[in-house]
Amino acid sequence: MKINDIITALNLTLISGKGGISNEITGGYVSDLLSDVIGSASEGNAWITIQTHNNIIAVASLKEISAIIIAKGLQPAEETIRKSESENIPLLSTSESAFTISGRLFELLKKE
Amino acid sequence: MRDFRADLHIHTLLSPCGDLGMSPVNIVSEAAEKGIDIIGITDHNSTRHTALIKRLAARKGIFTMLGAEVTTMEEVHCLTFFENTDTLEKFQEFLDSRLLEIMNDPLFFGDQVVIDEEENIVFNEPRLLTNAIDCSIDDLEKFVHSLGGLFIPAHIDRMKNSIYSQLGFLPEGLKPDAIEISKRSTPSKELVQHPELKNFTLITNSDSHFPGHIGSAMTIFRLENATFSEISLALKGEKGRKVVRQ
């Protein structure tokens, strides 16, 4: 599923990283510990987190994560937004909790 | 110049996890007994026990580094130290304004009190000190440095509340004055696993929560005398001042 379809279906806000918008989402991962994401996330994942530090962009880039969804309406740091633009990693936002948005994304991907 | 034995990471009973035996009087007598020259008082998100300990320690010829172990919003623990009561008070005001409004449950977490020399309770912190404060690690580093303080990410080898566990790697542009390795590892082991650490001064401390643990890990500084500015020089490795071993 394309990021654009997920944005529409889950009513997400695109904060930055438009350059990566044509990325395909093939699965998801939920974690706020970057050491865990480095160890366990997979290529093509949408990564759901409340972590907003700019290191999330480098981790997403390293793991070839397709997009980062920031839950609970948290605002990423300026530097995080800047790096998302330069690395073309879409940064998406939702006011919902990580639990709720994960459930909705899971249902959506299951239909594929 | 001579070598000074320092343990810069000691909790008092103000930290909910600090043993009740960690009273200012006990900490100082334990440090004196063990021949420690410099102690760092670093309660979770509070500096409120440092002033009394500094006074008590001075009587025994022990120098006190005034500070706190701050939990950033990424839940990374960082040691912070300040040179004088003026900057320390400014930092305490900052902590008070950024600590989350989540109350402590003393039965679950432990009491969070400040006591005097006679062990009377003089202050009770109602908010849970071990929570994160509303400040990123990068902003904390900048604020500490704006007050002329020292900023030292704590126990970086641990897979809990460390830069590596929370953020995966050292954030670009972060300017630590040193990096702490816990007593569970050694600087040489960490240098093998994380070669980028060779660019930083490494220190080790006990992270004591019990009197018996004080001095169980130390850093040896070569200094002219025990002062904040001498220790700052040693962390930079300037003017012959240095960390001799961890």
Q: What pLDDT does residue A112 have? A: 78
Low-confidence residues of chain A: pLDDT under 50: none
Average pLDDT on B173-185 reads 97
Does A30 reach chain B within 8 Å, measured CB to CB? no
Q: Which residues of B touch A35 (CB under 8 A)?
A: 159, 164-166, 168
Pair B177, B141: CB distance under 8 Å? no
Residues of B in Cβ contact (< 8 Å) with A59:
168
A residues 51..110 contacting B (CB < 8 A): 51-55, 58-59, 77, 79
Residue B246 has pLDDT above 80, yes or no: no
Domain boundaries, chain B: 2-245
Query: Is pLDDT of B150 > 80?
Result: yes
pLDDT tens figures, B194-232:
999 999 999 999 999 999 999 999 999 999 999 999 999
Q: How does the average pLDDT of chain B come out, rounded?
A: 96
Contact (Cβ atoms closer than 8 angstroms) between residue B76 and residue B141: no
| pLDDT of amino acid B145 | 98
Contact B166 A34 (CB under 8 A): yes
d(C-alpha B41, C-alpha A26), whole Å:
49
Residue B245: pLDDT over 90: no
Return the CATH fold of B2-245.
TIM Barrel (3.20.20)
Rounded distance between C-alpha atoms, residue A46 and residue B225, angstroms: 55
What domains are defined for chain A? 3-110 (3.40.1390.20)
Q: Are B133 and B73 in contact (CB under 8 A)?
A: yes
Q: What is the pLDDT of residues A69-101, one digit of tens each?
A: 999 999 999 999 999 999 999 999 999 999 999
Write out pLDDT tens, residues B59-78: 999 999 999 999 999 999 99
| pLDDT given for residue B230 in this prediction | 98
The predicted model gives B171-198 an average pLDDT of 96
The partner residue sitting opposite A53, judged by closest CB among B164, B165, B167, is B167
CA–CA min distance A11, chain B (Å): 27
- Cβ–Cβ < 8 Å for A56, A62: no
